[in-house]
Structure 1
Amino acid sequence: MHDSRQLEEKMMTTEAPRTDGALAGLARFCYRRRRLVLLTWIVGVIAVAFLGFNYAAASDNDYSGGDSDSAKAQALIEKHFPEQQGDTLTLAIKADKGIDDPAARQKIEKVIAELDASPITGPVASPYQDENLVTKDRRIARTTIPLTDKDVPKTEVKPLVELVKVASGDGVTLGLGGDKAEKAETPPQGPAEGVGLLTAAVILFIAFGSLVAMGLPIVTGLMAVLGGVALMKLVGHVVPSPDFTVLVAVLIGLGVGIDYALFILTRYKDSLQDGDEPESATVKAITTAGHAVLFAGTTVMIALLGLIAMGQKMMTGVAIGASVTVLVTMIAAVTLLPAFLGFIGYKINSLRLPRRVSRRSGGDGTPARKRRTPAERWAGVVQRKPLVAAILAGAGLLVLTAPVLSMRLSLPDASVQPHGRSSYTSYKIISEGFGPGYGAPLIFATEVDSRDPELSSVIEAVRRTEGIAYATQPRISRDGQAAIFMAFPKTGYQEEATVDLVHELRDDVLPKAPGGEQVYLGGPNAGAIDFAEDTSSRLPLMITVVIVLSLLLLVVLVRSVTIALQAAVMNVLSIGAAYGVLVAIVQWGWLGSVLGFPTEMPIVTWVPMMMFPLLFGLSMDYEVFLISRVREEYERTGDTRSAVTRGLASTAKVITAAAAIMIAIFTTALLGPDVSVKQIGLGMAVAVLVDATIIRMVLVPAVMELCGKANWWMPGRRTPKATTAAQARAGV
């Protein structure tokens, strides 16, 4: 009787895990040659890190391109106005007694002289020599500071920011704005990742109850992320990526790296508890959980590479860079971790918390009375009323998704900077004195040819347009073949009215003005609008590509079209809910200030585009581990209800721990300075929370209960039959 019960407990699948396949061979090699494998990893990571961090490719944050108006305008400027290639800074001045007050004037002229003397700046115009740079009441002034090179490092700009900050005071407020100034003021990400790792360590310690078991996933994840990020920096020489790619890759790499090691380690511990030797337990863990890890990781990579369908250079770089990091974490999970297990062996539970006797056995080693776990009891509740549970869960997700209907996309500007920064001070002064549109002018560019070089009719038409505060005179290129002029909107960079104004100028004003058909409207403001609209138009294609490719992969793994379709629909629901919560917090301002967002703001253009493939792939991770266990139980018993209950019970602890680790790591992004990374971290944390609770704990058991045997439908294949204990003994 005792032997029969043990046999039934061990019989988790119709077939025992393969011990002669490629994964089994790899696991044995890494276990037996653990010193060689570990040494190879250490040397490899050090070498790649040295090359990657010392010879990293430069970031490419250019979101322009294609055939948009802003891209054409930028191409003309680059061709005919090479002196415009350097970035510019804006010095904003506010004097309580007016800029003509002797003390104020002395301070202002001294600052301007010091900025003009810097080796990284060009000539700085004085507001005392140009009335257009001063407000009518002469309390606020501004001037532009050209930088000599567009690649000036932020370390060289920071002294200029400090100079302005120190000079500000005694009735004169100064602020230095511009993209380079913002980056110079942005501190490093700081302790955010460290906080996430510490939280992950606590979660792992609670889950495993052992310091040794806690440390293995963290060490494996850290080595994988270090190697992956360094390799990503080298790949940037072939496929350039924007500067936020590193932060995204670290968040994703740590999350999946620790989670993948956690899944494998859990199976290893289970095998040891069932009486296997350490080597055999390692092989079983890699051929079961490791196999699922490879499928899950491949799904994440395929989903990420779906970004290439956007056809945008910047997002292609992000997709390749983040995929490289995920690939390295997958390799670490099935090679480095088995080597660590070879060193640890039975000591996996060393340095553990004292615990009560396991429920799996009594004090004398005999099996204890079967007790239903909380997960089993919860599954029973859902399965008794599956339709009610599915409707309530679906309705809740739709409510969370509803704010998506008002989502606005834009790129961040100085208005969303922390209020203590010089760049925000500059923005506020300029907005107060000249209007919010002066921070990001519209730039009109055209080839002159034989047309009126003064562009008088075009400029006059632009000036008469409602929403334009001021337009400059044209500037002719040195070769005489092109001209540019600027116009300043009355509304700010982030406002919907500015978007409407750009469309009015392009669709109505310029076409009606003589010669206006060949005038291109660009600049950072228009470029951001074009990028947002291009992203919105391409997003459905990317979503379709990601869903189709992930579906095909999941069908191969779970061998069921029904379950693959269920997973796709549920993942879309959870991502939609994450989008909705993100809009409510960031755009509507609900709890925004509490979570580190200084003001209400649109969603950063690339965040939804980046979130979808990442979350779709990560959600598939939990689907793979849960459904793999459910399928094992179904093939053993033939009972869907029992299979779902037992599958949920056996994976609840590990999926909960994995989700908690993901949430901990993603929410640490809120501690950093970058609002873009804050948004993606918040959105992903919400999606993982929704996926691990409403999706896995309610919708999955409810929908599978409703589908019954149809869960396992696959064209051309019969529904799997149960394997009895007698058949197992006979080897059937």
Structure 2
Amino acid sequence: MATLLARLGRSAFRRRRAVLATWLLLLVLAGSAALAFRGTTDNQFTIPGTESQLALDVLHQRLPAATTAGADLVFAPPAGQTVTSPAVQAVITDVLARAAQIPGATVVPPDKTGLGAPDGSLAVAQVTLAKTIDQVTPADRATLEATADTARAGGVQVEFGGQVFQGGSTAISVLEVAGIAIAFVVLIVTFGSLAAAGMPLLTGLMGVGIGLAGLTGLSGVITLSSTAPVLALMLGLAVGIDYSLFIVSRHRAQLAQGMGLEESAARAVGTAGGAVVFAGLTVIIALSGFAVVGIPFLTVMGLGAAGTVLVTVVVALTLVPAMLGFAGERLRPKPGSRAARRETGGATVGSRWVAGVTRRPVAALLACVIGLGLMAIPALDLQLGLPSAGTAAPDSTQRKAYDLIAERVGPGVNGPLTLVVDTAGSGSSAATAGQALVQALTGTQDVAAATPPRPIPGDTLAVVSVVPASAPDSRETSDLVRRIRDLAPGIELATGSQISVTGPTALGIDVSGALSGALPVFVLVVVGLALLLLGLVFRSIVVPVKAALGFLLTVGASLGAVVAVFQWGWLAGPLGVSTTGPIISFLPVLMVGILFGLAMDYQVFLVSRMREDWVHGTPAREAVGTGFRAAARVVTAAALIMTSVFAGFVLADDTIIKPIGFALALGVLIDAFVVRMTLVPAVMALFGERAWWFPRWLDRAVPHVDIEGDALSSPDGAKDPVSA
């Protein structure tokens, strides 16, 4: 592989104008496709095959009106008045009249909904649109909100909630890419050169631009979660800059030792490029592994991000050496300069750090394991859920509507459960079966109210609405859904019916349950993949086992911190967390997949340099120090860049993006500095030569992957055999 990559790097160096022109053309084409075929995105998270989704499908087929998107109009009168005051009544009537003029809208006034505060401090009307929730656009929401402009001006508080206002898209803002500026500062400090610092940034942005534009174009033909482009941007920026950084850093180190420009570019791609290929493939495989979970929206998110990472890998292997050709001698550190001394030798912070770790490896190992273990403790209290109006920004209309209803009517009104009673094929009456269900629910724990069954013509389908006594995202409501489902079989047997629980609240509970059940399987797949891939690359038993265990420590500690901040509320103020509650249900799966790929990046770049020195004759314990010193500065810079990019997304107000950015930023810091740069050298020093033990029969069976670049040198190590 090293020989092939070196030839690729040399060819790109020599044909740099054609390579640059090709990538610019691809960027233009991808951008044009994005503009021409761009579709809409949403935050509707569903899983086919769950009880709630199957029931929703039945309603969509046989009672379409029950699946149309609805909105709550919440009216709160000014102090000293009630919703029955003539002035307030006039405002409510005016707003509802305006809403009724919206094409396809059906309005149900407060006296018909039965929702309102007993003391007259709140009234709730409902508006149903003639479209399903996935068809609702931002313009539809804006049109609804505009109906209340005059009412608000008159002193009556009008807020909008319900299903229509729970599916907004996730947008990319300038704040979320603020980490790029920090990344540029890190690159300048790392290289001490504006030219060298700008190159990884420019090539990384090129890869992200093409990948993101392609994904945007695909949104016109596939259902794309609005989180998918943000995730692709987040990952693409981080790995795109890092992969270019590894190759440029290797090139400058070789230039500082006197190597020629073309020779150095070829060797940099052949050596560091091999690690980039392996690391990139690891990230791509981990992201593609989301398909193992069997959840469509998560699969699309993973494949979208994987596609962007693939583009960044190809950019690093082709555009970077081309740009090295354009930069020429400007990248060569000047003799005697600080950059030259740093590239060629001398004591560094990294060398002093690894010396201290390897001097007391047991103490370092125990400190890492105990510290990360303590951080992981909050993860035992992990509660999963999907975002709702209750987790929206406090100044949003849906959050205000949610809080008003919860405070003055009851928290369960914000998340009613829809019970579908189906008697098709049994000859039984759906209305009778529905009435039996309502009677069984009377007095059931956490049931605040259950409406009489509403049968459809033919009396084979009926709908019962149940209002929980607790909030939609509470454990009590989850327990109530399970309680109803446990109660259903007895009623089904007695009435010849089939009873299902659905609605947005039940859908969220089912999605969270499915993801919780899939997480252990996904972790086993990812850890098994780590063992196989690292065993193949490093031809060792200790290295992959140590890497996998370290990865589990990283995930546990990161997840524990997420629970402490976003569920318990620790440091919520300084981090701008306005609402605490259940953790977004797909975050653990995302963390496992993404952090696995990134952890293997650092593992490869750090340990491959140790192995490179060891296979070239350096004693194993000494190779830990020399290899660490050669790679530590680049790995440190890469980790700081990734952390900066991810941390930029913590500035977002979005309840989905903020915890994802926090989890990944903290996970990268933990994995790079605690696991890879402390635990790894401690374990390698403890095992010594045994760290590289590999059974002979396995050595013969496993193909050799040359990521150290041995094939690039002749026996005397003097010349590259692929220089022609």
- TM score, norm. by length of structure 2: 0.91
Corresponding residue to 2:237 among 246, 254, 271? 254
SS at match of 1:652: helix
CA deviation string 1:637-672 (max 9, x = no partner): 331221111111111111111111111111111111
Q: How does 1:353-392 map to 2 (within 5 A)?
A: 356=338, 358-359=340-341, 371-392=346-367
CA distance in 2, matches of 1:224, 1:555: 30
Displacement of 1:348 after TM fit? 2.6
CA deviation string 1:99-129 (max 9, x = no partner): 111221122211111122123x5121222x4
Report how many residues are paired.
698
Amino acid at match of 1:335: T
Corresponding residue to 1:497 among 476, 497, 501? 476
Displacement of 1:168 after TM fit? 2.6
Amino acid at match of 1:224: G
Displacement of 1:357 after TM fit? 7.6
SS at match of 1:134: coil
Q: Does 1:135 align with 2:117?
A: yes
Unaligned runs of 5+ in 2: 701-705, 720-724
SS at match of 1:91: strand
Corresponding residue to 1:291 among 263, 271, 274? 274
CA distance in 2, matches of 1:594, 1:522: 38
- In structure 2, do the counterparts of structure 1 residues 590 and 205 end up closer, same or farther at CA, with 3 Å as the change threshold? same
- In structure 2, do the counterparts of structure 1 residues 85 and 500 end up closer, same or farther at CA, with 3 Å as the change threshold? closer
Corresponding residue to 2:12 among 5, 9, 30? 30
Structure 2 residue aligned with 1:508: 487
**Cα RMSD, aligned residues only:** 2.6
SS at match of 2:68: coil
CA distance in 2, matches of 1:528, 1:160: 25
Is contact 1:192-1:672 (8 Å) kept?
A: yes
Structure 2 residue aligned with 1:411: 386
Corresponding residue to 2:64 among 73, 82, 93? 82
Q: How does 1:336-351 map to 2 (within 5 A)?
A: 336-348=319-331
472-481 vs 322-331, which deviates more? Answer: 472-481
Structure 2 residue aligned with 1:124: 107
CA deviation string 1:347-402 (max 9, x = no partner): 2369x9x96584369xxxxx9xx643222222121112211211111111100111
- In structure 2, do the counterparts of structure 1 residues 468 and 408 end up closer, same or farther at CA, with 3 Å as the change threshold? same
SS at match of 1:47: helix
CA distance in 2, matches of 1:172, 1:512: 46
Corresponding residue to 1:432 among 396, 407, 411? 407
Instruction: Quote the sequence identity (%).
Output: 34
CA distance in 1, matches of 2:518, 2:658: 24
Structure 1 residue aligned with 2:314: 331
Is contact 2:566-2:583 (8 Å) kept?
A: yes
Q: Does 1:635 align with 2:615?
A: yes
Is contact 1:593-1:599 (8 Å) kept?
A: no
- In structure 2, do the counterparts of structure 1 residues 261 and 131 end up closer, same or farther at CA, with 3 Å as the change threshold? closer
Corresponding residue to 1:451 among 414, 424, 428? 428
SS at match of 1:483: strand
Amino acid at match of 2:23: W
Structure 2 residue aligned with 1:176: 160
CA distance in 2, matches of 1:673, 1:189: 11
Q: Does 1:321 align with 2:304?
A: yes
Structure 2 residue aligned with 1:663: 643
294-303 vs 642-651, which deviates more? Answer: 642-651
Amino acid at match of 1:27: G
Q: Does 1:475 align with 2:450?
A: no
Is contact 1:307-1:316 (8 Å) kept?
A: yes
CA deviation string 1:336-356 (max 9, x = no partner): 111111211112369x9x965
SS at match of 1:130: helix
Corresponding residue to 1:158 among 142, 161, 169? 142
CA deviation string 1:395-433 (max 9, x = no partner): 111001111110000001111111111111110111122
303-312 vs 471-480, which deviates more? Answer: 471-480
CA distance in 1, matches of 2:149, 2:193: 51
Structure 1 runs of 4+ off > 4 angstroms?
234-239, 354-358, 727-731
CA distance in 2, matches of 1:654, 1:179: 48
SS at match of 1:147: strand
Q: Does 1:52 align with 2:29?
A: no
Is contact 1:302-1:546 (8 Å) kept?
A: no
Is contact 1:220-1:261 (8 Å) kept?
A: yes
CA deviation string 1:227-284 (max 9, x = no partner): 1122223455676432211111100000000000011110111111111221111101
Structure 2 residue aligned with 1:282: 265
CA distance in 2, matches of 1:516, 1:522: 20
SS at match of 2:656: helix
CA distance in 1, matches of 2:54, 2:43: 18
657-666 vs 314-323, which deviates more? Answer: 314-323
Is contact 1:510-1:517 (8 Å) kept?
A: no
Structure 2 residue aligned with 1:213: 196
Structure 2 residue aligned with 1:615: 595
Displacement of 1:452 after TM fit? 2.6
CA distance in 2, matches of 1:634, 1:413: 54
609-618 vs 511-520, which deviates more? Answer: 511-520
Q: How does 1:180-259 map to 2 (within 5 A)?
A: 180-182=164-166, 188-235=171-218, 240-259=223-242
Structure 1 residue aligned with 2:398: 423
CA distance in 2, matches of 1:542, 1:347: 47
Q: Does 1:68 align with 2:50?
A: yes
Amino acid at match of 1:497: E
Structure 2 residue aligned with 1:529: 509
CA distance in 2, matches of 1:406, 1:225: 37
CA deviation string 1:438-476 (max 9, x = no partner): 111100112234323322111221233121111222222
CA distance in 2, matches of 1:360, 1:69: 61
Is contact 2:113-2:126 (8 Å) kept?
A: no
Amino acid at match of 2:291: I
Amino acid at match of 1:494: D
- In structure 2, do the counterparts of structure 1 residues 730 and 249 end up closer, same or farther at CA, with 3 Å as the change threshold? closer
Displacement of 1:587 after TM fit? 0.6
- In structure 2, do the counterparts of structure 1 residues 144 and 202 end up closer, same or farther at CA, with 3 Å as the change threshold? same
CA deviation string 1:587-634 (max 9, x = no partner): 110012321211221110011111101000101001100011101111
CA distance in 2, matches of 1:32, 1:729: 24
Corresponding residue to 1:40 among 17, 22, 25? 22
435-444 vs 152-161, which deviates more? Answer: 152-161
- TM score, norm. by length of structure 1: 0.90
Structure 2 residue aligned with 1:711: 691
SS at match of 1:621: helix
